[in-house]
Chain A
Amino acid sequence: MNVKKQFKDGLITNNPVLVQLLGMCSTMAITTTLFNGIGMGISVIVILTCSNIVISLLRKIIPSTIRIACYIVVVAGFVTIVDLLMQAYLPSLSESLGVFIPLIVVNCIILARAEAFASKNGIAASALDGIFQGIGYTLVLIVMCVIREFLGNGTFGGGLLGQEGAGIRILPEGAAATFLVLPVGGFLTLGCLIALMQYLLRKSEEKKGGEDK
């Protein structure tokens, strides 16, 4: 088990959103305020870790022909738990994330990790994988939220900081480009982020290649 490698994989070199290109729907849909991003990120970390643990426990029992259906049921169970807990204790967050909490069931990140990692590795490694991949996803969400909220609304920390959760105003009102908070902004911001990631990965590979020679 290689904790350090798993950590680096989840956060940077094999980041679920920027490199594996999974879980796009939620990444673009809910990243309008910081509160949404953090809430969604934490839910995904919890669900991903729990489902990874359970699937890794069951990996020798589940017959391989119906494994996808089994994974989905396990994931759906955890999603229901998180959904109900959130409705009970954080109703405002539950309302603003709306249909995207139950939709975590079909978030490709969770199924992909179950298939690619948890079904082949031990419990501890799978749990760590869940946590790190979840953190990688959350980091992207937070970056997207901060960019879109700052440029699109001129504030920082909406839903969390400031008066009545309106966020701290940085840009003057009217100076912001509202379209970034709209769906268009989701596509554009994520596109630029992935491009940046590809650029950085290519640069670091070139550097490594140069050292080898």
Chain B
Amino acid sequence: MSLTGIVSIALGAILIENFIFSQFLGICPFLGVSRKVDTALGMGLAVTFVMALASVFCWLVNTLLLVPLGLTYMQTVAYILVIAALVQFVEMFLKKSIPSLYQALGIYLPLITTNCAVLGVVLLNTQKNYDFLSSLVYGVTGGIGFLVAIVLFASVRERMDLTSDCPKSFEGFPIALISAGLLALAFMGFSGLKVF
């Protein structure tokens, strides 16, 4: 795996094909946990961590177990089980070692299991036939892309809650979606970016 390849995967995952703004993966936590910048940051870090771990473990499960046994049609089921186990593990780890973050994330921590960004990154790794290193890089940078998006969006929302005067029907979710749309429009600017 050449350095250029890694850089292009990384740039692609963070900016050009950002998981949220261009692939629509992980919208639920993106809209749900973006009221405050601190919790958004914690959520983004937790998701990045799980995505990296999930990429590694699912790659291992796929190459060492499913492919040799001819069970590739069980991919979806196997992946979701791996992810659920990982999230459980992260939850126990956080509870023991960083209880403050554990409490801040609350209900959203177990919900990482059903974050489509996590399952999405794993499925995309398989679909694109990435090798071990590329999978890891894609997992980590995809998570960073999620982190960047959710922190940016949380800052916008914090500001908006304080100052905006929006029509009654647009209060809450609709206005959040519209502002996310405008952010996505900004991220479209990266689509012209080419690596080497």
Interface of A toward B, CB cutoff 8 Å: 21-22, 24-26, 28-29, 68-69, 72-73, 76-77, 79-80, 83-84, 98-99, 102-103, 105-108, 111, 179, 182-188, 190-192, 194-196, 198-199, 202
The answer to whether A106 and B84 touch across the interface, beta carbons within 8 angstroms, is no
**Partner-A contacts on B (CB < 8 A):** 21-28, 31, 73-77, 80-81, 84, 110, 113-116, 119-120, 123-124, 127, 167-178, 180-182, 184-185, 188
> Could you tell me if B174 and A195 are in contact, using CB atoms closer than 8 angstroms?
yes
* A191 contacts across to B, CB distance below 8 A: 170, 173-178, 180-181
CA A28 to CA B181, docked complex, whole Å:
11
A sample of 15 cross-chain residue pairs with beta-carbon separation below 8 angstroms, ordered by A number, consists of A24-B27, A25-B24, A25-B27, A25-B28, A26-B24, A72-B80, A72-B84, A80-B73, A98-B127, A99-B127, A102-B76, A105-B119, A107-B116, A183-B21, A202-B169
Q: Which residue of B lies closest to A192 (CB)?
A: B174
A77 to B80, CA, bound (A): 11
Residue contact B184 to A183, C-beta cutoff 8 Å = yes
Contact indicator A99/B124 (Cβ below 8 Å): yes
With A188-B181, A191-B177, A191-B181 already in contact, the answer to whether A103 and B120 are too (CB < 8 A) is yes
A199 touches B181 (CB 8 A): no
Main secondary structure of the interface of A (DSSP, over half): helix
